[in-house]
Copies of this chain bind each other. A is one copy, B any other.
Amino acid sequence: MRKVDPEKHEAKRRQILEAAVACFARKGFHRTSTAEICAEAGMSPGNLFHYFPTKQSIIAAIVEEERRQTADYFEGINPSSDLFAELLDFMDIVLELASDPTYLKLALEIAAEAIRDEEIGNLVAKTDTELQTALNTLLRNAAARGLVDPTLDPADSARWIAALVDGIFSRVAVDPGFSPLEQRPMLRLLITRFLRPGAAPATA
């Protein structure tokens, strides 16, 4: 049996995922064939199936990658930093991602697939639970340090921050007048007024 070089294997895997992301963003998940992903990645179909047995398993890997990146991001936050500023920074990243046409298209494809495919739905729900747990922890710690209104339930606040994240992607999809980066001051005002009602300025 041939030995698998873990580094080479991982590099090839990433190459396929990147090719798949490009294809899915261009044509959507269902209209993309595995042959097109192979062509984009410059490899043979037999080789592709060695890494991902199905198209579904590729989208599952993309969701898992997303989950890992979000977890890493929140683990990287210094607990003694200004946690409210950290929250606003995270929302900046959301706005930047929603401004990236490839990321946006992929996020919407995954959202649509999550509604229609149970396995993808479960993976997306798992990613979402982790995001909410991270936001909940951040908000609880921020409240304990007087950085946000301590009378708000952090779990519920986290839910509404997550609702805003969802809403941003949905807005970009449906409303050509919604430019995420232009909406940055309004989002900051909204979150500041919500979480720190005393500290918020009257205007953005």
Interface residues of A (CB under 8 A from B): 28, 30, 108-109, 111-112, 114-116, 124-125, 128-129, 132, 149, 151-153, 155-157, 159-160, 162-168, 170-171, 173-178, 183, 186-187, 189-190, 193-194, 197, 200, 202-203
Contacts and interface: CB of A to CB of B under 8 A. Distances in A.
A144 to B, nearest CB: 17
Given A111-B112, A116-B112, A171 B151 contact: no
A28 B163 contact: no
Nearest to A186: B156
Contact of A167 (B108, B151, B166): B166
A190 to B, nearest CB: 5
Chain multiplicity (copies): 2
A175 B112 contact: no
A170 B167 contact: yes
Contacts of A115: 28, 108-109, 111-112, 173
Given A115-B112, A116-B30, A193-B194, A166 B171 contact: yes
A168 B201 CA distance: 27
A174 B128 contact: yes
Given A115-B112, A162-B171, A202 B194 contact: no
